[in-house]
Amino acid sequence: MEKDLLVNPADYDDEDIKTLDWMEHIRRRPGMYIGKLGDGAHTDDGIYVLLKEVLDNSIDEYMMGFGKTIEVTVEDGSVTVRDYGRGVPLGKVVDVSSKMNTGAKYDSKAFKKSVGLNGVGIKAVNALSSYFLIESNREGKSKKVEYSRAIVTNDTKVAPTGERNGTFISFVPDREIFKDYEYKDEYIESLLKNYVFLNSGLTIIYNGKKFYSRNGLVDLLNENMTTEPLYPIIHLKGEDIELVITHSNQYGEEYYSFVNGQYTTQGGTHLSAFKESIGRVIKEYYGKNFEYSDIRAGIVAAISIKVEEPVFESQTKTKLGSKDMGPQGPTVAKFIGDFIKKELDNYLHKHPETSDALLKKILESEKERKAIVGVTKLARERAKKANLHNRKLRDCRIHLNDAKGDKQEETSIFITEGDSASGSITKSRDPNLQAVFSLRGKPLNSYGLTKKIVYENEEFNLLQAALNIEDGLEGLRYNKVIIATDADVDGMHIRLLLITFFLQFFPDLIKRNHVYILQTPLFRVRNKQKTWYCYTEEERVAAIGAAGKNPEITRFKGLGEISPDEFKNFIGKDIRLDQVTMKKEDLVKDMLAFYMGKNTMERQSFIIENLVVEEEI
């Protein structure tokens, strides 16, 4: 009998068809509107998307020529944003904050090149906040409405005001949805810096701190580069497009792409066209059939374009899907290609010092690539064979490019050392989303070595193959690359050697926030009723106090000592991760030379001065 015929029609009737109210739909399916939820520990967590949705409206006002200052305050989880634009029309304050698909941006004459076009963003903020207030000041009059979880609690009548024109919004993300969230200043400041880099002349004041940019994307590159440029930054600007390009002596390619002020972290049609056009124009300029990979090796670049009615591949707008610049405009690829062909070619002709430095870099990259051609084929075969026989990699079933929604965030690979540790993690992991890569002993110190070592060294070659990053991050198989080593001197050393490897050869893996350190408990405290896992000395002391008389205290010396059943507690939903980050002020080259270069008296003195002797428990 057909399976469908086994279903009793009585189990499916009118009551099974439900229509959710708009705010209930958002609260039940927040991922459809803001991506993942999170607790504020990552830059793309939902609480930052809420802030961004509000800010985007203020930025759109600035782009239309209204309001040069935006004030942002975040305190104890409460957020306020005040702009000095035109203010929402007073008769529509309720509609724009609580009626889906209501906004001023459907008519491209009013907001020609805006980010938010579907009238959803601010309503999502309202629905996902335990408290939401919107106040519009317009031509000496004011209108204010307050909500709790999108239900109106106070709707004031229009009244006279002495406030300047503009919109004031305050909200508190709902802790029923965003569990134990906390805003991090560094993530908010990074977001605000991008806004001012993309909108020269705009001032954003965050908790009293001023953000302003005079030089646009040049300032953005200078802010983010962790190595010195090989030639002055090329800055090209036209109607609806701005781009900056330089090269450094780092490996990999580093791009920042934006559409209508939106940071498209996953790129899209504009970034693909940008990369292809740069390679083509440079080949034509020098009249050489260079490999694109040699032209782009070490590139650091950014592009910002403005598109009418942009189409993004998700509500969070991290990847552009538009093929055209607008309803009557050229394709994105043609628009960018024509601009680069004209402007970059002209620039290189007018600046021979830059074109000479660029040529030198391309030739060096070509020389290095050819030097390792002989070992790459053999290395790839070794890597394929090793992975095939599962010698180093216990893979998972779902990878980054296969996963959808929250599952993308959860795709992980643990890099660990030793049979017992990798065995515990392998038995404890989620085989669908968590892979394990086993190191054999300590990796090589790769500081100062060329990329040839990546292929000649078996551990590095197999790790590169497991991550699938030989040709860039587009093929990366896991969202999180988690270094899981013992919390002792040897474990710390392995951790540093791995970070050195990534900094040397794949710095964009760290810059794109993919590398983490796994935190595992140092102590277990338990009595007959309860067990406490303690990650710090302070947590140990607190647990002993809570456990009462004569608790059992265990000091975990290594990951292999933790049973698989216990390990499940540490790599599941309560996993504790420290993100490895890079900032300009880190001075990566100097830092690696100091910590990983030749031994010096300065380093010996540093070690002695910072030596901590651990007490035996």
Higher pLDDT, 386 or 555: 555
Pairing, β 480-484 against β 412-417: parallel
The pTM of this model reads 0.78
Does the domain at residues 217-367 carry the CATH identifier 3.90.1150.30?
A: no
User: Residue 257: beta bridge partners?
Assistant: 303
pLDDT of 569:
82
CATH of 23-212, one of 3.40.1160.10, 3.40.50.300, 1.10.1660.10, 3.30.565.10: 3.30.565.10
Q: How far apart are the first and last CA of the chain?
A: 67
Q: In this predicted model, what pLDDT tens digit does every residue of 212-245 receive, in sequence order?
A: 999 999 999 998 888 889 999 999 999 889 999 9
Element holding 58 (H helix, E strand): helix 46-63
Task: Please choose, from the candidates 504, 508, 503, 553, the residue with its C-alpha nearest in 3D space to the C-alpha of residue 527.
Answer: 553
* Measured distance CA(325)–CA(193) in Å, rounded: 26
Q: Indicate the average pLDDT of the chain.
A: 83
pLDDT of 377:
66
Question: Which residue do the tokens 């802010």 mark?
Answer: 223
CATH topology for 373-520+557-587?
Rossmann fold (3.40.50)
pLDDT of 604:
66
**CA separation, residue 76 to residues 43, 44, 146, 180, 189 (Å):** 18, 20, 19, 12, 17
pLDDT of 337:
94
| Burial of 403 (C-beta count, 10 Å sphere; 0-12/13-18/19+) | middle
pLDDT of 308:
83
Higher pLDDT, 590 or 171: 171
User: Residue 147: beta bridge partners?
Assistant: 132, 152
Say if residues 308 and 112 touch (Cβ distance below 8 Å): yes
Residue 68's SS3 state is coil
Angle between helices 269-286 and 332-350 (to 10 degrees): 40
pLDDT of 18:
42
Least confident of 35-49, 204-218, 447-461, 598-612: 598-612
Most confident of 90-99, 255-264, 325-334, 335-344: 335-344
Q: What percent of the chain has pLDDT over 90?
A: 41
Judged against a pLDDT cut of 90, whether residue 166 lies above it is answered with: yes
Per DSSP, 484 falls in state: E
pLDDT of 72:
96
Judged against a pLDDT cut of 90, whether residue 97 lies above it is answered with: no
**Residues 354-374, mean pLDDT to the nearest whole number:** 90
- Band the pLDDT of 338: cuts 50, 70, 90: very high
**Residues 598-611, mean pLDDT to the nearest whole number:** 66
Question: CB under 8 Å to 84, separation ≥6 — which residues?
Answer: 66, 67, 68, 69, 70, 164, 165, 166
Q: In whole angstroms, how large is the CA radius of gyration of the chain?
A: 27
Question: Which residue do the tokens 């939902």 mark?
Answer: 46
Q: In this predicted model, what pLDDT tens digit does every residue of 417-463 receive, in sequence order?
A: 877 778 888 888 999 999 999 988 888 888 888 888 888 888 888 89
* Measured distance CA(549)–CA(129) in Å, rounded: 44
Least confident of 374-378, 385-389, 447-451: 385-389
Say if residues 498 and 443 touch (Cβ distance below 8 Å): yes
**Residues 253-265, mean pLDDT to the nearest whole number:** 87
- Band the pLDDT of 320: cuts 50, 70, 90: confident
Per DSSP, 1 falls in state: -
What are the DSSP E strand ranges found in 110-165?
129-138, 141-148, 151-155, 159-160
Higher pLDDT, 366 or 557: 366
pLDDT of 16:
46
Tell me how long the chain is. 617
CB burial of 30-58 (b: ≥16 within 10 Å; e: otherwise) equals bbebbbbbbebebbbbbbbbbbbbbbbbb
What are the DSSP E strand ranges found in 230-358?
234-238, 241-247, 254-259, 262-263, 299-305
Judged against a pLDDT cut of 70, whether residue 528 lies above it is answered with: yes
Question: CB under 8 Å to 536, separation ≥6 — which residues?
Answer: 522
Single-letter amino acid, residue 432: N
* Measured distance CA(264)–CA(312) in Å, rounded: 9
**Residues 119-138, mean pLDDT to the nearest whole number:** 86
pLDDT of 106:
38
* Measured distance CA(162)–CA(346) in Å, rounded: 52
Judged against a pLDDT cut of 60, whether residue 119 lies above it is answered with: no
* Measured distance CA(344)–CA(331) in Å, rounded: 19
Judged against a pLDDT cut of 80, whether residue 82 lies above it is answered with: yes
Judged against a pLDDT cut of 60, whether residue 105 lies above it is answered with: no
Q: What percent of the chain has pLDDT over 70?
A: 83
* Domain positions in the chain: 23-212, 217-367, 373-520+557-587, 523-555
Judged against a pLDDT cut of 50, whether residue 614 lies above it is answered with: no
* Measured distance CA(187)–CA(44) in Å, rounded: 9
Question: CB under 8 Å to 69, separation ≥6 — which residues?
Answer: 83, 84, 202, 203, 204, 205
* Measured distance CA(366)–CA(361) in Å, rounded: 9
Say if residues 214 and 196 touch (Cβ distance below 8 Å): no
Pairing, β 434-439 against β 254-259: unpaired
Token representation of residue 471: 């040709």
pLDDT of 32:
72
Residue 481's SS3 state is strand
Task: Please choose, from the candidates 431, 390, 425, 415, the residue with its C-alpha nearest in 3D space to the C-alpha of residue 566.
Answer: 425
Token representation of residue 521: 């408990």
pLDDT of 29:
73
pLDDT of 334:
93
Judged against a pLDDT cut of 80, whether residue 582 lies above it is answered with: no
Question: ∠166-126-28 over CA atoms, to 5°?
Answer: 160
**Residues 335-341, mean pLDDT to the nearest whole number:** 95
pLDDT of 14:
46
- Band the pLDDT of 588: cuts 50, 70, 90: low
Higher pLDDT, 8 or 449: 449
pLDDT of 447:
83
pLDDT of 470:
83
**Residues 283-309, mean pLDDT to the nearest whole number:** 92
Residue 418 φ/ψ, nearest 5 degrees: 95, 145
Higher pLDDT, 479 or 392: 479
